[in-house]
Amino acid sequence: MKRIQYHEYGGPDVMRLEEFQPARPGKGDVLVRVKAAAVNPMDIGIRRGRLKMVTGRTFPRALGHDFAGIVEEVGDGVTQVRPGDEVIGAAGLKAAGAFAEMVLVEEKSVVRKPKNLSWDEAAALPTPAITAYLALTKKGRLKAGQSVFVAGALGAVGRSAVQLAMMMGASVGGSCRATAVQEAHDLGLSPIVEFDFDASRYARRFDVILDTSGQLPLTSAKTMVKRGGHIVDIQPAPAKFVRAALPGPYEVLVANPDRADVEQMVRAAEQGVLRIPIACVVPLDSAIPALAEFERRTGPKGGKLIITPEPARSVGLRSAARSDPPIAPRAPEQRPRFPGVERGQTDRGPVPQRSVATVQLRRQQRERARTPPPTPGGLDAASGAHASSSARPTTMPSGPRTYASRKMSS
Ligand SMILES: NC(=O)c1ccc[n+]([C@@H]2O[C@H](COP(=O)([O-])OP(=O)(O)OC[C@H]3O[C@@H](n4cnc5c(N)ncnc54)[C@H](OP(=O)(O)O)[C@@H]3O)[C@@H](O)[C@H]2O)c1
């Protein structure tokens, strides 16, 4: 069996694809044959040693948390899944090991995969979706009818938060890069602003401010939040916990979900209202360079980097065969609702429809109208990152020029 592991904390050069012997599942453990694993920023942070107080100094250490796969073997006392079941899961923070052919996890870390999700879509969900859900519900205490602002609305956590907040009956605005305004618009966001927007235009507009990037100035968040509202930061740091302990709207989240939270996520995905787009799928054999590019942020934007232990040729073949339609935003009355979400006070008024990004949006619409449609099988069709949330793209394109073209095409 192969997996990506490292023998010391450090940069991309410490990663190795090596043989390993998966342990037999102990009491309460589940051994899963990985079909797809998704890369998260925390995988990089952990490998760099940022959590070594928790993850320790025993090497080699495995990499990767979120995965989808098939249960191979279960240990004593496992009741929720059995061999052959298709599951979604997240490996423990310390054990990790999803960038592999096999991963060993606790039973509480896996749930059944809905049939309507592809392996890649399923693997993309666990950490971002659960973080978004906990940020909105446990820290943001979001209620139906309230308004949410998501800073970094098109990242994996941000996009999950947008979709879940809409599902909870909230109105959602957010920030994104100028080149991604059309995509934010398609997702149903309003208002849409760029990262360096003027917060004073949205004073006291939002019940919940969720900063997924750690880049939203606290003064801006405080300007925008309503009295009694919540500002949720998901970039924990010791000083932030001190600040969060003080009276006021500021909260810090460290996602630590229970099984019920995970089940909620899966239900939302099953109902078709929660998807994280896939930017790129790479085979395990060539995942290390892709991870390095992800880390330098020169990799594809607008979706997840997925690693699959399946051979490269089958990735390409399946990609060409897939034709699932993209997830389109639904009208509020058509959105499935989470059970038990309380109704909150309605917003004081409609959120401003015009935003600092409106000019850019119009310009992009004009440019799109002039651009000929992409050729089937060409770069745009293959990327699927912005055009479709579920098309399985081909293997990692090479070189920064490809990414620039991909970005221009978004
Ligand atoms: N506390 C927890 O338990 C927890 C759990 C999961 C994740 N996290 C953290 O949450 C963060 C987001 O994770 P993710 O998976 O969503 O990452 P991601 O997919 O890379 O998304 C990050 C988003 O932030 C955007 N961004 C960049 N600069 C920004 C700025 N100045 N203002 C606003 N947004 C900006 C990016 O836009 P571009 O793509 O256009 O650059 C991107 O959309 C990571 O740092 C991760 O470690 C915390």
| Residues 347-361 pLDDT 10s | 333 334 444 344 344
- The arithmetic mean of pLDDT across residues 185-198, rounded, is 95
**Quick one: which of 74, 90, 95, 94 has its CA closest to 127?**
90
CA angle centred on 109, ends 309 and 87, rounded to 5°: 50
**Which region among 122-131, 155-164, 262-271 has the lowest average model confidence (pLDDT)?**
262-271
CB 111 within 8 A of CB 263: yes
Distance of CA 262 from the midpoint of ligand 1 (Å) = 21
Q: Is the peptide bond before 191 cis (omega within 30 degrees of 0)?
A: yes
* Integer Cα distance of 235 and 399 in angstroms: 30
DSSP strand pairing (29-38 vs 206-211): unpaired
pLDDT reading at 207 higher than 70? yes
What pTM was estimated for this model as a whole?
0.82
Q: What is the mean pLDDT of the chain?
A: 81
What is the CB neighbour count within 10 angstroms for residue 348? 10
CB 233 within 8 A of CB 251: yes
CB 107 within 8 A of CB 29: yes
Q: Is 123 helix (H, G, I), strand (E, B) or coil?
A: helix
Residue 388 is predicted with a pLDDT of 35
Would the CB of 71 count as within 6 Å of ligand 1? no
Would the CB of 336 count as within 6 Å of ligand 1? no
Q: Is 189 helix (H, G, I), strand (E, B) or coil?
A: coil
Residue 73 is predicted with a pLDDT of 98
Would the CB of 127 count as within 6 Å of ligand 1? yes
- The arithmetic mean of pLDDT across residues 58-75, rounded, is 97
Mutation probe of ligand 1 site: the residue of 198, 213, 407 with most atoms within 8 A of C-beta: 213
pLDDT reading at 285 higher than 90? yes
* Integer Cα distance of 236 and 214 in angstroms: 9
Cβ-based burial of 373 (10 A; exposed 0-12, middle 13-18, buried ≥19): exposed
**Between residues 145 and 333, the one the model is more confident about:** 145
* Integer Cα distance of 125 and 112 in angstroms: 13
**Quick one: which of 187, 205, 195 has its CA closest to 148?**
205
Would the CB of 80 count as within 6 Å of ligand 1? no
* Integer Cα distance of 217 and 222 in angstroms: 9
Residues 6+ apart with CB under 8 A from 234: 131, 135, 157, 210, 211, 212, 214, 252, 253, 255
Confidence class of residue 299 from pLDDT cuts 50, 70 and 90? low
CA angle centred on 315, ends 307 and 267, rounded to 5°: 65
* Integer Cα distance of 136 and 295 in angstroms: 27
Give me the amino acid identity at 394. T
pLDDT > 90: what percent of the chain?
67
Distance of CA 38 from the midpoint of ligand 1 (Å) = 15
Distance of CA 155 from the midpoint of ligand 1 (Å) = 5
